[in-house]
Amino acid sequence: MPLTSYEKHLFSEKWLDAVKDFDCCASKNDNYEKLNDFIKKDALKYNQNNLSRTNILVKNGVCIAYYSLAMNAIKEQRISVEEEYKTLKSYPALFLTRFAVDKRYQKSGIGKAILNAIVKNACENQEIAARFLFLDAYPESISWYLSNPLFEILYTALSERIAYCCEKCVIEKLNERLRQGHTIECELNEKTDVDTLRTNCEKILTTHVNDIFHDLVPENSLLKACHSKIGLTFENNKPKIKLEGFNTRQNLSIIRDWLKNKNNVLNLDITVPLYADINQYYIAIYG
């Protein structure tokens, strides 16, 4: 799909009318509504304040797609680059901050063509280098990005996110139980010392957390497939719920398959950081 049949314009005040009916929601979706709102309400401000640069594709005076870019750096030491560059502290990346095609034009190759054009422009840019194209994919769009074999998941960030989502989930369920009056009896009297109090507290929380994890596992097959557990620790006397044994690198293929099933992702409500190596991408597409 060549993009030459559309005009490309830097988004500015004169195009506000062209985006007023822009709609990328093929079905009702809060995340996609945010993308509709961004182009109508914020993109101009972001352009003016150098937070991102938005370009639009226009047909007959109407915006049919837009994308926003900014600069970024990937601080991932284990990223796959040539051996001699493995010691760099970070790698220059182009950040695709937002990207949407109007629902009337989706699935006709425009999205793919826009990505290709972004990579081509980045590769041919004579002023500034970017080695990676980085983006945060909404759960619903992950399958689209992962259908392109050049996109990979930035695994460390993914571990952190899944751990964070699990913690949130466990804490919500714990609060729910406490609100419902669930308690576990333990020793408590005037002479109870701090250490015993802490042990009691640990006992109560561990029992709840273990029960909650049992409830959670059937809902989140990934935790079971990766043999992970929920652990409870105390940091500065504050209880901390941690996901243990969730090693994204060791379980790479399980996670990739799991992420392709968008229902799974929505269950934990995570967005997934992805990157494409622009060098590879460019060679694959433009030879």
Ligand X SMILES: CC(C)(COP(=O)(O)OP(=O)(O)OC[C@H]1O[C@@H](n2cnc3c(N)ncnc32)[C@H](O)[C@@H]1OP(=O)(O)O)[C@@H](O)C(=O)NCCC(=O)NCCS
Q: Which of 97, 161, 90 is nearest to 134 (CA)?
A: 97
CB of 82 to ligand X, least distance (A): 29
Q: Which is nearer to ligand X, 110 or 209 (CB)?
A: 110
CB of 147 to ligand X, least distance (A): 4
CB of 233 to ligand X, least distance (A): 34
CB of 191 to ligand X, least distance (A): 58
Q: How far apart are CA 9 and CA 15, in angstroms?
A: 9
Q: Which is nearer to ligand X, 23 or 244 (CB)?
A: 23
The H-assigned helical ranges of the chain are 30-37, 43-48, 110-124, 142-146, 155-179, 194-219, 221-225, 252-260, 262-268, 278-286
Q: How far apart are CA 32 and CA 35, in angstroms?
A: 5
Q: How far apart are CA 239 and CA 198, in angstroms?
A: 10
Among 112, 161, 173, 229, binds ligand X (CB under 6 A): 112
Q: Which is nearer to ligand X, 137 or 170 (CB)?
A: 137
Number of residues interacting with ligand X: please give it, by CB under 6 A: 19
Q: Which is nearer to ligand X, 33 or 215 (CB)?
A: 33
Site for ligand X in 121-180 (CB under 6 A): 137-138, 141, 143-144, 147
The 6-35 contact track toward ligand X, x by CB under 6 A, reads ------------------x-------x--x
Q: Which is nearer to ligand X, 135 or 162 (CB)?
A: 135
Residue 44's beta-bridge partner residues?
none
Residue 29's beta-bridge partner residues?
none
Q: Which of 23, 24, 11, 17 is nearest to 54 (CA)?
A: 11
Among 38, 46, 66, 99, binds ligand X (CB under 6 A): 99
Both tokens of 228, joined, read 């992970």
Both tokens of 140, joined, read 């619903």
The residues binding ligand X (CB under 6 A) are: 24, 32, 35, 99-101, 106-112, 137-138, 141, 143-144, 147
